[in-house]
Structures are given as C-alpha cells and as structure tokens.
Amino acid sequence: MSKKLSWLQVCRSQEFCGKWVALDNCRFDETTLKPVEGDVVDCDEELPALCARMRETGRSSCSIVFCDGDVYVETQPQQAQDSPIRTDRPA
C-alpha cells in the first residue's frame, strides 16, 4: 500500500479511521506542524504491530499518526494564477 493522500482524505476514509497510519514523504503545516499530506504506506489498529512492520521493511523515517477522524489542518487546493500580461510600457 502506498497512496498519496491529503490528511483530509485519510481522516474521511473508513479504511483508516481509528487506526495508526504510517506516512512517508509527509508534508507538514508550517504553523501547526500537523500533517497535511503524505504517502500512506501502512496502517494498523495496534501501534506496536505497525512499528514492527515498519522496522521489518526498513521504513524508519515514516511519520506515524493516529487517525481519529479529526482534521488538523485543512488546506485549500492551490489554483494556478495567471500572471497578468502588461500591455502598457513605462515611458
């Protein structure tokens, strides 16, 4: 299992609710230091079992967070902003 998901998607998923979730390549909110998105690599209801599997697979740099359905940080998707085209020229 390795899916790139936002934390909002993880929290709203029945698959992860009530479980410990291992996130790789996790991006954190700069203000709250809470997860915003990451690659979900594994999950388990038991933290020791999840940690043991992470050790066995060599994934020692994952962030492990409990998913209780709360969204820590909800970010708005970034929209591409077109830069305005200047039609006037400075004199």
39 lies in a domain? yes
Burial environment of residue 14 by CB neighbours within 10 A (0 to 12, 13 to 18, 19 or more): exposed
State yes or no: pLDDT of 39 exceeds 70.
yes
52 lies in a domain? yes
51 lies in a domain? yes
pLDDT tens digits for 44-89?
999 999 999 999 999 888 999 999 866 655 555 444 445 455 556 5
Q: What is the pLDDT of residue 42?
A: 96
Q: pTM of the entire structure?
A: 0.71
- Domain residue limits at 13: 3-67
Q: What is the pLDDT of residue 80?
A: 45
30 lies in a domain? yes
What distance in Å separates the CA atoms of residue 62 and residue 83, rounded to the nearest whole number? 38
Tally of domains within the chain: 1
